[in-house]
Structures are given as structure tokens and as C-alpha cells.
């Protein structure tokens, strides 16, 4: 029992130290998985519980654990294994690929990790773009690009203030960039702008701009369970 609790403390510390590091987000997911998957490179429900239990200690220390579904990590473990069993039936262990796929869906209990990652990356990101509202150029931090209008950018404070200009509406979709964009991303966003110009307001109401994979929790029995 003493060995078990020591393992929990060491694992929590490793996760804390990993969060602000400059490695890619997926590398962070893989690092997490490897902490509990040695030496077989596979992870059963018990090992995943251990990992998630340690991970939720971070929002817990910040007093934010209810926002991420509470301290009970059972729904998260079920969500991960259900996601995997859709791909390969009755799986009792998951591999690193399946874990990363599930984490990419941003399950509620773990969504703080990509958020922290993006905040850390955005702190120093300088965008060669002008904020269409406050006119700052270039600007630092998060960049919000309209997927409805070409070359419509907002800095973080203008985006969250809810101010708009030039016919841009609050329900229009935006993409959040925490690092300067590459030309490939610019092309991808350009195609989204084109598609969005053929979609209706109803579509945007049904598709929230930023989201995560919801999980059923003991605190929120009435929440609808949505598995993607
Ligand atoms: Zn601005």
C-alpha cells in the first residue's frame, strides 16, 4: 500500500512538470500513457484509473475539479474503453494509438491539459496579423481567425470582450491559434471560409465554436451522455 501511494505522488509530480514543457501536445499524451503502460506498452482499466486519478490532482489543486466532471474518474475510464471497443470489440487493454485518439476528442476530465498547453504556447506567440477591432499589429497571445470572412483576425482581449466590426457576427465560427500559422493551415482555413459561406445561421447554432467530449458524472446524472 505504501508503494502504491508513493507511485501516485511521483506520477502527479511528473504530470505537473510535463504541463508547461515545450513538447508537442500529442507527445505529452504519449508521455502520460507510457507512465502507466510499462513494460508491455498496453494499459488496462486499473492502470488508466491510476493515470487519470493522478491527472485530476492538477485541476483539484487549483480548486477547479468540478468544472472537469469531479473527482470520480470512472466515467472517463469507461469513455476511453467504450471508444476503443467501437474500434476493436471487447478490448481489455488499450495501446498508445487508442489512448491518443481518445485524448484528441478532449474528454472533459482531461480538457484542462490542452487548454494549459495552448495557454503556455500562446504566451510568446507573435502573429503577423492586425486585430480587426483594436488595430494592433502585430499582436501577441491567442489569435482568433474568422472562418466566415477572409483575413478577419481578433486578438484575445477583443474576442472575449465580444466586440465586433465590419458585419462580423458573434455566432460566426472562428479558429483559435496559439502559435503563428503555417501556409498549410492558411490554405485549410481558406477552404473552411469557402464552405462556411454556403452554410446557414442554423448550422452554426447547432455546432458550438469550441467544444470537448462530455462525460457522464455522478454529480450530473441528468447530463446526456454523448460518445463520439
Ligand atoms: Zn484587438
pLDDT in tens, 135-149: 999 999 889 998 888
**Annotated domain spans of the chain:** 2-121, 124-206
How big is the CA angle at 216 (ends 221 and 30), to the nearest 5 degrees? Answer: 160
What is the rounded CA–CA span in Å between residue 78 and residue 94? Answer: 12
Q: Around Cβ 209, how many Cβ atoms within 10 Å? A: 14
Q: How far is the CA of 154 from the centre of ligand 1 (A)?
A: 5
Distance of CA 21 from the midpoint of ligand 1 (Å)? 28
The three-state secondary structure class of 127 is strand
Q: Residue 54 above 50 pLDDT?
A: yes
Report the percent of the chain where pLDDT is more than 90. Answer: 29
Least confident window among 37-41, 59-63, 162-166, 184-188: 184-188
Distance from residue 135's CA to the centre of ligand 1 (Å): 6
How much is the pLDDT for 205? 62
Best CA proximity match to 72, nearest among 192, 206, 201, 218: 218
Whether omega for the bond prior to residue 93 falls within 30 degrees of 0, making it cis, is no
Please provide the average confidence, as pLDDT, over all residues in the chain. Answer: 79
Write down the pLDDT at residue 172: 81
As residues whose CB is below 5 A from the ion ligand 1, the structure lists 131, 133-134, 155, 158
Helix spans in 90-167 (H):
96-104, 112-122, 156-161
Higher pLDDT, 18 or 88: 18
User: How far, in Å, is the centroid of ligand 1 from the Cα of 176?
Assistant: 14
2-121 is a CATH 1.10.238.10 domain: yes
Task: Report the first-to-last Cα separation within the chain, whole angstroms.
Answer: 37
Q: Does residue 191 sit in helix, strand or coil? A: helix
CA 158–ligand 1 middle distance (angstroms):
4
**CA-CA distance, 53 to 2, in Å (whole number)?**
17
Residue that has been written with the C-alpha cell 501556409 in this structure = 183
Amino acid at each position: 500500500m505504501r508503494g502504491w501511494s508513493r507511485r501516485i505522488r511521483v506520477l502527479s509530480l511528473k504530470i505537473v512538470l510535463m504541463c508547461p514543457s515545450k513538447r508537442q501536445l500529442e507527445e505529452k499524451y504519449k508521455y502520460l500513457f507510457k507512465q502507466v503502460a510499462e513494460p508491455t506498452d498496453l494499459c488496462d482499466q486499473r492502470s488508466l484509473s491510476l493515470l487519470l486519478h493522478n491527472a485530476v490532482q492538477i485541476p483539484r489543486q487549483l480548486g477547479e475539479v468540478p468544472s472537469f466532471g469531479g473527482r470520480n474518474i470512472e466515467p472517463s475510464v469507461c469513455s476511453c474503453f467504450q471508444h476503443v471497443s467501437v474500434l476493436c470489440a471487447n478490448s481489455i487493454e488499450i495501446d498508445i494509438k487508442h489512448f491518443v485518439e481518445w485524448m484528441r476528442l478532449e474528454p472533459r476530465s482531461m480538457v484542462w491539459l490542452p487548454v494549459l498547453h495552448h495557454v503556455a504556447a500562446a504566451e510568446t506567440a507573435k502573429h503577423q496579423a492586425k486585430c480587426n477591432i483594436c488595430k494592433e499589429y502585430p499582436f501577441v497571445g491567442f489569435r482568433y481567425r474568422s472562418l466566415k470572412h477572409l483575413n478577419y483576425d481578433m486578438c484575445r482581449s477583443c474576442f472575449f470582450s465580444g466586440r465586433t466590426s465590419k458585419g462580423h457576427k458573434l455566432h460566426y465560427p472562428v479558429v483559435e491559434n496559439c502559435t503563428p500559422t503555417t501556409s498549410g493551415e492558411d490554405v485549410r482555413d481558406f477552404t473552411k471560409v469557402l464552405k462556411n459561406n454556403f452554410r446557414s445561421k442554423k448550422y452554426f447554432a447547432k455546432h458550438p465554436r469550441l467544444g470537448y467530449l462530455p462525460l457522464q458524472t455522478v454529480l450530473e446524472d441528468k447530463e446526456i451522455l454523448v460518445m463520439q
